Chains A and B, each alone.
Chain A
């Protein structure tokens, strides 16, 4: 009986363990800031009231689950916002630059987590290449194995950007 209880309480961990979670980190927040909002800027953390969230949701048709957003603002009134959206299975962190006139200036993916990808980093998996490699000269730093497959849609990002543009429209432009 006791054993069964133990199994039950660890079951979620067991389910998660074998797949492994791989997070591909493209840019840190500092790097994203250097690219999307170079120059002086001050941190302007945003806190959305319940009423504001409701009104953003109504205007763009996308849920606003978080009330706090990390944001930076340049003296010229340009914004850099950090947010995350739910991809098919996992969260994707993104940075979006919005100009003082409310136009999207750039979108960068910061991290992309997905259940797939873990095995590619495993030594046993990589060993399958041995003897096959035509010309494996490269790679200073880290191993890079590009991944090919049917196209994954980036619609979740489009919705996330729409939500931030609406957040600018309703909240930030009056800030």
Chain B
């Protein structure tokens, strides 16, 4: 029997550190090659959906989506479709149209004067047409930062699942998904002391994502900064709560963390069950609460 080998790689992608762990019987050079191709999948997602890149599908839409329907890549269409579905289910608590406020606070770049920073738009203003075309009912700025990372992880795992590996983990800065026979343990940063402490848990579903405000505040040096905003009030999320969601796919886990952070519990509880997901809340007092219990 050939011995099992494990490799681990890390590349700066999606604005964070993406780590890929592969475990299989193939020679190490082969595993390295396969990891390289998985990174390539993530790079494609980045090229299509980055707000920062002026050539991405998203930037094209943000420039002229209100003028005429634009055709986008099937992956972009799929992500926006799911985002709209989650907005509907969470009564707008998850909303990809909060970008203008993030641009104003300096957390997202502004692409020239032609982009509108009007804040009137909401997720209902996004229209999905047949033939992968999308249009806006009024000038909008959408940002897939709260969902595309999870999608990129799913795409990498989808590719890796075709290779007959023993197991794999793709971790995009905390949004992760495991494949096959790999360790089912996971560590979640403790929101009270994110740089030093972690809370042990087990992978209750193949995918896991965590959202909290602790790093943005530290990085920007602003007490009030947070990359997660309440869509109705525009106020940054400032609690010390950390929300982790276990789901079947990473795109669901990623998006649902924001819904749990922002929506009232009676709204997100049925959404969690509809997506067969489990939420783990870590509070500032050190409590751990699991939903559904």
Contacts and interface: CB of A to CB of B under 8 A. Distances in A.
A115 interface: yes
Contacts of A31: 32
Given A19-B196, A150-B194, A138 B214 contact: no
A146 B216 CA distance: 21
A152 interface: yes
Interface in B202-219: 202-204, 208-216, 218-219
Contacts of A139: 6, 23, 182-183
B44 interface: no
A149 B188 CA distance: 6
A159 to B, nearest CB: 11
B181 A141 contact: no
Interface string A140-175: 111111111111111101100100000000000000
B9 A148 contact: no
Interface in A112-128: 112, 114-116, 119-120, 125-126, 128
Given A35-B36, A112-B17, A139-B6, A147 B12 contact: no
B109 to A, nearest CB: 12
A24 B149 CA distance: 22
A144 B16 contact: no
A141 B183 contact: no
B174 to A, nearest CB: 5
B202 A132 contact: yes
Nearest to B176: A146
B200 interface: yes
A120 B185 CA distance: 11
B173 A119 contact: no
Contacts of A145: 183, 185-187, 200
Interface of chain B, helix or strand or loop or mixed? strand
A141 B219 contact: no
Given A144-B21, A154-B15, A154-B17, A136 B184 contact: yes
A158 B278 CA distance: 35
Contacts of A132: 200, 202
Interface size class of B (residues with CB under 8 A): 35 or more
A150 B212 contact: yes
A109 interface: yes
A127 to B, nearest CB: 9
A140 B17 contact: no
B10 interface: yes
A140 B23 contact: yes
B195 A144 contact: no
Nearest to A160: B12
Contact of B187 (A35, A89, A148): A148
Interface string B164-178: 001101010111101
A146 B169 contact: yes
5 contacts: A26-B8, A31-B32, A146-B19, A148-B186, A153-B215
Interface of B: 3-6, 8-13, 15-17, 19, 21, 23, 29, 32, 36, 149, 166-167, 169, 171, 173-176, 178, 181-189, 194-198, 200, 202-204, 208-216, 218-219, 242, 244
Given A120-B198, A149-B210, 9 more contacts: A19-B196, A107-B12, A109-B9, A115-B196, A125-B200, A142-B6, A145-B185, A145-B187, A147-B198
Interface of A: 19, 24, 26-27, 31, 34-35, 88-89, 106-109, 112, 114-116, 119-120, 125-126, 128-129, 132-155, 157-158, 161
